Amino acid sequence: MCDEKYTVDAWYEMMATAFKHGVNFFDNAEAYGMGQAEELMGGAIKKGIADGLWIREDLVISTKMFLGANDFSTSGPNAVGLSRKHIVEGTKASLKRLELDYVDVIFCHHPDPHTPIEETVRAMNYVIAKGWAFYWGTSEWLASDIREACEIADRLGLIRPVVEQPQYNLFVRTKVDVEYLDLYKKYGLGITTWSPLAFGTLTGKYSAGRPVGSRFTTAAFKDGPLAEGFDGRVEMADKLKPIAAELGCSLAQLSIAWCVSNEKVSTVLVGASRPSQLEENLKALDVVSKMTLEVKEKIDAIASFVPTPSTMDHFALLRNRHL
């Protein structure tokens, strides 16, 4: 499925804006836009090289395997998951869409309880051995599964996962702030976090309701796990606005800066629908130095954090229907 409103030129403009502000890491996944996101990024990378803005070595490109590039709700059992078959076939297909010889990092987009972790570890090492990626990592995995993957890699003399990509924001903290602590110390695990704005609830745009066309008016966000706690989060976001005002920044910039200020976080992934929005979000870097202990205490008094044990990612059981 291809959406014609997205173009290589628009994608390039966004990447070029980010690059000129010091951003060199660009994340993707086989499932994004059913493969279209990889095609557009690949075109943008080529355009940047042709224009002399960057060379391939300047960029850190990642993609993720699990959901496939077709409709995962109807795809067959071999088109999704973390089996050796899908990892190998999916990686080759992603590189073809990206028009790249390799990506820098390849992630297991979700955990897969239907595939032995050892099979996934071996498959990811095969991908690295073939020169299709330099490093591999996980996304939304439980700490216990990451630990098992590292132990298996050590036992077999293979390459461990070096990075995890979890959701992390003022409302979702348990994995990054609690459950992964031993992994940072023992394995030097890196963290590239996503959704610093909690699906937009930390922008303040939902204060007066759900704007037409916004994320929380879509079917996926009206009901189900992605909609849980929406009203409470909007209420807390409104209470955080005075703190942002005191710091001379927007609520979005405050929220992103809070994530960046965590020394355990390697990268904060941000998205934008237009270059001007991206530039506004990147101004959060000027706010990081203002994230003092006093400011964080004020934030915590509103967005109070109570650790709750993490559960298996809801996509993990996608292949249950084939059993």
* pLDDT means over runs of 10, the chain (323 residues): 79 98 98 97 98 98 97 92 98 98 98 98 98 98 98 98 98 98 98 96 82 63 68 93 98 98 97 94 98 98 94 91 89
Q: In DSSP terms, which residues pair with 107 in a beta bridge?
A: 64, 137
Pairing of strands 133-139, 163-165: parallel
32 noted as active-site residue: yes
Look at residue 225 in the predicted model and tell me its pLDDT: 66
d(CA 245, CA 251): 8
Q: Look up the pTM and report it.
A: 0.94
Supply 88's token pair. Answer: 């190998």
What is the β-pairing status of strands 163-165 and 103-108?
unpaired
How far is Cα 55 from Cα 57, in angstroms, rounded to an integer? Answer: 5
If you write DSSP's letter for every residue of 202-271 in order, what string do you get? TTTTTTTS--TTSGGGSHHHHSSGGGTTHHHHHHHHHHHHHHHHHHTS-HHHHHHHHHHT-TT-SEE---
CA distance 272 to 82: 29
pLDDT recorded at residue 202: 96
For every residue of 272-303, DSSP letters joined together read -SSHHHHHHHHGGGGTGGG--HHHHHHHHHHS
- pLDDT of amino acid 2: 56
What is the set of domains in the chain, with CATH numbers?
Answer: 1-165 (3.20.20.100), 196-323 (3.20.20.100)
Catalytic-role residue among 32, 180, 187, 206? 32
Distance CA 147, CA 244 (A): 38
Residue among 142, 128, 195 nearest 168 (CA): 195
Q: How many other C-beta atoms can be found within 10 angstroms of the C-beta atom of residue 254? A: 24
The pLDDT score that the predictor gives to residue 40 is: 98
Instruction: Give the separation between CA 62 and CA 26, rounded to whole angstroms.
Output: 6
